[in-house]
A and B are shown apart, each in its own frame.
Chain A
Amino acid sequence: MKLVGIELYKLRRKHLFSMVMIFLLVEISWAFVVTARSVSGNSVYAGWKALIAMLSSMNGLFFPVLTAVCVSRICDMEHKGNTRKLLLAMSVKQNRLYAAKYASAAIVMFTAAVLQALAAAAFGITSAFERSVPLFLLFRFLTATIITNMIVAALQQWISMAVKNQAFALTFGMIGGFIGVVADLLPHNVRKVFIWSYYTGLSPVTQFYTGNHVIFSIRDTGSMVPVMTVLIIAGIVVYFAGSFHVSRQEL
């Protein structure tokens, strides 16, 4: 906990939270404008479902890049200042430093996901969608976003810590965003290999086209649980593989 506090303390003048806020503001503004247009233009659009589906697909583009940027900023501090050696000389274990950095990145991304869900609820209420706030649906959406974010963060941290040149980590995030946004176009077997596709893959609302109409349907919760379990296990494996590799690197 102390190390996590120190990591967050290091971020105090980096404007990381304000940058995340601006990022989120742009994303949700765009999603809200598009959803408001869709809902007003077509009565068959179910407000909440359309909103959650829109946010899920936009998360596929935004969150991989946002995660890459946040994790890169948290890890790059040590590369730039050459401070990893200094920290280790103060008998901070490499794996604990890795864990503290991951925890602080996770806190930032968790906050972003919660704020997004709260903003979605506020938008739905102010737009007077027909039904009241579907708390369970929003909770499922939030869970899906957080789980996917955590695994993407683990992957990004591995690269950001292992490779000093952050261009590679950000390019990886950009590729993730690309795959996240085109995930729905890929065949199912190909899609499930890519972690970034789970922003839409785990979304509680799915959409498909029939002629000129978009039909939204709610996914069965039970079918999502095994997928989430596998993803969490994959995330743990990625995290420990990264921690193991980075801890044994020569500084």
Chain B
Amino acid sequence: MIKRCIWAELMKLRHSRIWMILAVLPVISVLIGCGNYYMNRSVLTKGWYSLWSQVCLFYGEFFLPVLTAILCAYMWRLEHLNKNWNMIMTVPVPAAGIFLAKLAVVGFLLLFVQIFLFILYFLSGRLAGLDPGLPGELPGWLIRGWLASVTIGSFQLVLSMRIRSFAAPVGIGLCAVFIGLGMYVFRLGLFFPHSLLTVGMGVLSQTGLSPGENILFFAMCLFYMVADSIGAIYLLQKSDTMA
């Protein structure tokens, strides 16, 4: 059942050109980050680590959560149009299938964004004259970054499901970014979805996480995803549809 739901979601995105929206952020981040790194090589002396800090500072801190919010709003856009809520709630699939399929597609698309970022990061580093030896922490940054962005995605999906406006959840997402930054500053970064991204992706500090912190990181991501999904599925099952 879930497979068919995922397939239906992918079909809805067929001619949406969402890939353009997803591709533009990594491209701009890498262009500006790499340009800044290249011009300040005398100060930024840690090679790949410095390049990562330049590429991912604004990307991971502010703009990946906003991109995730736009993507999630887009996932519910069709449902909010043309009384499609009536239609989707009468199809013979469970409410859980509808939400989890959207979450799976968001996860898949964000994975594409992370892979694309990695490719651009590697190419820009090589073009900037860095050695081929990438940082050992890089897979961890990318995987944790992806997981944290999916966690943010689950939160944004709930918001976009409830709020009919396309733009309002994106605005709320940006406010949440600053709450997350505050949580990170007060060393509570592992307890809020948006600061999980800062911690996991090594945006502000490139030192790796300890095994205990890693476990806590994955547990918190799982907790938020499960809590958001349960809440969303409950709302889908119990609340009246406003077409």
Residues of B within 8 A of A23 (CB): 171, 174-175
CB distance from B63 to the nearest CB of A (A): 6
Measured as residues with beta carbon below 8 angstroms from the partner, the interface class of chain B is 20 to 34
A residues 11-56 near B (Cβ < 8 Å) are: 14-15, 19, 22-23, 26-27, 30
| CB neighbours of B32 from chain A (8 A) | 178, 182, 185-186
21 A-B pairs with C-beta separation under 8 A: A15-B168, A23-B171, A30-B178, A65-B171, A66-B171, A69-B167, A69-B170, A73-B167, A73-B168, A76-B166, A165-B74, A166-B167, A167-B21, A167-B166, A170-B166, A171-B21, A175-B24, A175-B25, A178-B58, A178-B63, A185-B32
Given the interface pairs A30-B178, A69-B171, A76-B165, the reply to whether A170 lies near B62 with Cβ below 8 Å is no
- Chain A, residues 158-169, CB within 8 Å of chain B (1/0): the string is 000000011110
For residues 52 through 90 of chain A, which have their beta carbon under 8 Å from a beta carbon of chain B? 61-62, 65-66, 68-70, 72-73, 76, 80
Give which listed residue, B81, B168, B182, contacts A69 with CB less than 8 A: B168
Nearest 10 pairs of A and B residues by beta carbon: A72-B167, A69-B167, A69-B171, A166-B166, A26-B175, A171-B21, A167-B74, A174-B66, A26-B178, A73-B167
Q: Which chain B residues in 15-31 approach chain A with CB under 8 Å?
A: 16, 18, 21, 24-25, 28-29
Beta-carbon contact of A73 and B36 below 8 Å: no
* Chain A, range 192-225, C-beta contacts under 8 Å to B: none
A15 contact set on B, CB distance < 8 A: 168
Give the shortest distance, in Å, between B17 (CB) and chain A (any CB). Answer: 8
Shortest distance from the beta carbon of B83 to any chain A beta carbon, whole Å: 11
A22 to B173, CA, bound (A): 12
Question: Could you tell me the distance between the alpha carbons of A186 and B35 in the complex, rounded to whole angstroms?
Answer: 9
User: Could you say which of B81, B165, B167, B175 contacts A68, with CB atoms under 8 Å apart?
Assistant: B167
Question: Does B73 sit at the interface, judged by CB under 8 A?
Answer: yes
Interface string of A178-193 (1 = CB under 8 A from B): 1001100110000000
Query: Once the chains bind, are A174 and B67 in contact (CB under 8 Å)?
Result: yes
Q: Cα distance A15–B171 when bound, in Å?
A: 12
Cα distance A15–B18 in the bound complex, in angstroms: 28
Q: Number of contact residues on A: which range applies?
A: 20 to 34
* Chain B residues whose CB sits within 8 angstroms of the CB of A170 once the complex forms: 70, 73, 166-167, 170
Count of chain A to chain B residue pairs whose CB atoms are closer than 8 Å in the complex: 86
B positions within 8 Å CB-CB of A: 16, 18, 21, 24-25, 28-29, 32, 36, 58, 62-63, 66-67, 70, 73-74, 77, 80-81, 165-168, 170-171, 174-175, 178-179, 181-182
Asked whether any CB of chain B lies closer than 8 Å to the CB of A242, the reply is no
Q: Which residues of A contact B (CB under 8 A)?
A: 14-15, 19, 22-23, 26-27, 30, 61-62, 65-66, 68-70, 72-73, 76, 80, 165-168, 170-171, 174-175, 177-178, 181-182, 185-186
Instruction: List 7 additional A-B contacts (Cβ < 8 Å) besides A26-B179, A177-B66, A178-B28.
Output: A26-B178, A65-B171, A167-B73, A171-B24, A174-B70, A185-B32, A185-B36
Give Cα distance in the complex from A181 to B29, angstroms.
12
* Interface pair B63/A174, CB less than 8 Å apart: yes
Q: Which residues of A contact B170 (CB under 8 A)?
A: 65, 69, 170
B166 to chain A, nearest CB (A): 4
**A170 to B80 Cα, complex, angstroms:** 17
Question: How far does the Cβ of B148 sit from chain A's closest Cβ, in whole Å?
Answer: 18
Q: Which of A62, A167, A185 contacts B70 (CB 8 A)?
A: A167
Q: Which residue of A lies closest to B71 (CB)?
A: A167
Query: How far is the CB of A37 from the nearest CB of chain B, in Å?
Result: 10
Central interface residue in B62, B165, B178, B182, by most chain A CB within 10 Å: B165
* Option from B16, B28, B67, B167 in Cβ contact (under 8 Å) with A76: B167
Give every chain B residue within 8 A of A182 (Cβ-Cβ).
32, 36, 58
